[in-house]
Amino acid sequence: MASMRRHAKQILTDIRHRRHIDLYATTLVVLVFAALLIVGADLPDSARWSVLFAGLGFLLLRAALANHREDRFLDRSDYDRNPVTDDLRNAKDVWIFAPVGSNFLTEERCDILRRGPLAREGGSVRIVVLAQFDPGDPISEQLDALLDYPVQTASASLRETRTRLATMAEWQVKGTFAYGEIAFNPGFSLVALNPHAAGGYANVEFHAFRNDAIRSRMHINLTRDDGAWYVYWLDQFEAIWRSAVTAE
């Protein structure tokens, strides 16, 4: 269901920006023609032709859906256009690696996790953040230097996040919640929803060297259709999780 919604949004975005119009127009014509053949006379022939044209139409649509690389290179404003709220609520498995985590792990989203995957038997949420550091620590200075206009120091933000995670660990829920910390900042954040299920995806955000604000950071959206690179980033989270000092 989540995958269908994302594809529908993608198609509407393509049409709004007049991308792949020829493919969508051809697909529409083919599907309409196939439908007309189905309701026409001579049912044996029409059935055969309708299957042929419907198959061609779906192949064209698949080509249009696969050819949208530019739509996978996004910034934080994509969360405003396509809120992750519903995806979090409906997810069964959620993986999050966020060095500080204060921007993504808001009070609202944590509550959505509680009422979503953590409210279901078999639901699972795993979160990794950086180990606590003090102002003046090299990692703290590195993270603070990434933004030209920060609103809070990285150490203060991380302290709030770790307090929130410790509180979440005390919740009495049906699902499984676990979090951990690592002492190394790899320079990216990762959010994966239902990573091994159909319709699952992963957003990878790169911190880069300097940004004017958090919202200007680039992230990419990956799905199972991306093959080896999708597996690569899922393996990155698993490697981080294995290295993390966890508390359940």
Over residues 109-157, the pLDDT tens digits come to: 999 999 999 999 999 999 999 887 666 656 555 555 554 555 567 778 8
- Pick 75-247's CATH classification: 3.40.50.620, 3.40.50.1370, 3.30.870.10, 1.20.1070.10: 3.30.870.10
Q: 147: Cβ–Cβ under 8 A, 6 or more apart, which residues?
A: 210, 211, 212, 213, 214
pTM over 0.75: no
DSSP-derived 3-state class of residue 111: helix
> What share of the chain has pLDDT > 70, as a percent?
57
Tokens of 66: 């696969």
Over residues 68-110, the pLDDT tens digits come to: 545 566 655 555 555 678 889 999 999 999 988 888 898 999 9
For residue 43, pLDDT over 80 is answered with no
CA-to-CA distance for 199 and 144, rounded, in angstroms? 36
CA-to-CA distance for 172 and 20, rounded, in angstroms? 49
pLDDT band with cut points at 50, 70 and 90 for residue 18: low
168 sits in which H/E element = helix 154-168
